[in-house]
């Protein structure tokens, strides 16, 4: 069961009409719980640097920034690993 490589949340987006309703947490926490039950050593994801609400959701769910940064979509925006 112990997955030394850990896991990664591949992507998550909440429609703008549903933001600030708690839906992001409803979607994310079961994934975190499942990974914990599977004994993953870590769970990583990429958070858009320009979205304070996304970063706050992830930090409030136990994620922390790793220091890794990437430009994506032809350098249109920057993401930070958590």
Q: How many residues make up the chain in this entry?
A: 82
Mean pLDDT along residues 63-67: 93
Q: Please check whether residue 39 is in contact with residue 2, taking contact to mean a CB–CB distance below 8 angstroms.
A: yes
pLDDT band at 78 (very low <50, low <70, confident <90, very high): very high
DSSP 8-class letter at 48: E
29-39 tens-digit pLDDT: 999 999 889 88
Determine phi and psi for 62, rounding to 5 degrees: 100, 0
Tell me what pLDDT residue 38 has.
Answer: 87
């Amino acid at each position: 069961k112990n997955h030394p490589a850990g896991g990664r949340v591949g992507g998550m987006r909440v429609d703008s009409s549903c933001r600030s309703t708690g839906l992001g947490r409803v979607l994310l926490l079961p994934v975190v719980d499942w990974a914990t039950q599977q004994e993953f050593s870590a769970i990583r994801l990429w958070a858009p640097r320009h979205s304070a609400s996304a970063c706050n959701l992830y930090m409030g769910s136990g994620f922390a920034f790793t220091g890794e940064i990437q430009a994506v979509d032809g350098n249109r925006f920057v993401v930070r690993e958590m």
